[in-house]
Chain A
């Protein structure tokens, strides 16, 4: 299945200077999909996921426009052709 990852500006350098990363591989969940991304862009992993395997608190992941915080977290199902956005949350001071 084909997946499209849309990378945030600060992480593009770690993704081969690409704003979009297309990966063809098997994935039934966001967790599976991210594992494919880590294989292609290993430096992105620790910026998005903590040692506990959780998405960092100020990072949002959207699958086909829906935040995974509302759809089952890393267990959210993904479809062939899914668009996965990784975005910094609106936070700070």
Chain B
């Protein structure tokens, strides 16, 4: 097995966490984001679809969902930026006896809100939500969603039947929205006790009823932290915006080469600004015309502009998957994405120009960012 290299982040550094089909990597740079060093591979041979950084309560903890084809999937964490990882004796995310289900993969890890520093969520395959209230030691199935009467009718998409998106409303601790491929979006307004389908206006191209109550193949949903009513949705055919926290959706595929795609990100401070990477079609899930283009809107989807400077524009039949695009919190925001061909691109100026951060990694399935804080929290905080 390859011996991983390590990074040693300092306060204020930017991390780009990259999950691939054969392990995870940690990219580190100062806030200038001009030079990157790469740590890894971590969990060589395991697919890492989910990564997260938890800096609440003075932590600097990395989380990874590592799926061995042979030995199953586990949540593992590191308080040393990857130098050491936990390897729990007992699988920490497990379906309870009686559900008849077995964990296939971990698709999303979401640290809870600032005022619930020991709460974490994770979304898994088969589609289900798990919650931890003790900083990730013990996990339990969110029974309210699992027991939803529509759940048995959800169908697996191309990546399996996965719960891949968890949006914790930044201003209402009782509201959570999740997305399942292929089940659509579900929302709770009571902290997860009850859930309702919430897909008004979202098309299901592959069903006889194009606007069903549930069953859409939602690929990714993002929510503005600055203006939580604003969300964007990249659907299996369809590009949408919501201005009412996801209760209804309006088509905003204005000037894009295709409204098919997977990845999506929203600006950390500007709700009108978002990024996507369109793909040609569900038949040919590659960059249209062999031109790798990120599209950005700066006006809530009224118009999208192609961002190409530094990206290959000839013979680049690349694929960017649903969790392989992310933005950082620096001003101007950095934008990063990875491809199934193992390339990672980054921009330190919101997509105006791009550079290749890595080429030759295993297929990239997840890209997440973090800003490192190594200051101890003040007392009372």
Residues of A within 8 Å of B71, CB to CB, are 10-11, 47-48, 56, 59, 88
- Given A51-B101, A51-B103, A54-B102, A88 and B72 contact (CB-CB distance below 8 Å): no
The yes or no answer to B158 lying at the interface (CB within 8 A) is no
Q: Scan residues 1-28 of chain A and give those whose CB is less than 8 A from a CB of chain B.
A: 10-11, 14
Q: Classify chain B: how many residues form its interface, as a range.
A: 10 to 19
Q: Are A58 and B69 in contact (CB under 8 A)?
A: yes
The yes or no answer to B95 lying at the interface (CB within 8 A) is yes
Q: Across the two chains, which residue of chain B brings its CB closest to A92? A: B69
Complexed CA–CA distance, A47 and B101 (Å) = 16
Q: Scan residues 24-61 of chain A and give those whose CB is less than 8 A from a CB of chain B.
A: 42-43, 45-48, 50-52, 54, 56, 58-59
Q: Across the two chains, which residue of chain B brings its CB closest to A87? A: B70
Q: Classify chain A: how many residues form its interface, as a range.
A: 20 to 34
Residues of B within 8 Å of A43, CB to CB, are 89-90
Least CB distance, B65 to chain A, in whole angstroms:
15
Complexed CA–CA distance, A59 and B70 (Å) = 6
A-B CB proximity, top 5 nearest: A50-B102, A46-B91, A47-B71, A43-B89, A88-B70
Residues in B lying within 8 Å of A, measured CB to CB: 68-72, 87, 89-91, 94-97, 99-103
The contact sample of 27 A-B pairs, CB cut-off 8 A, is: A10-B70, A10-B71, A11-B71, A14-B89, A42-B90, A43-B89, A45-B90, A46-B90, A46-B91, A47-B70, A47-B71, A47-B72, A48-B71, A50-B102, A51-B96, A51-B97, A51-B99, A52-B101, A56-B70, A56-B71, A56-B72, A58-B69, A58-B70, A88-B71, A89-B70, A91-B70, A92-B69
Residues in A lying within 8 Å of B, measured CB to CB: 10-11, 14, 42-43, 45-48, 50-52, 54, 56, 58-59, 88-89, 91-92
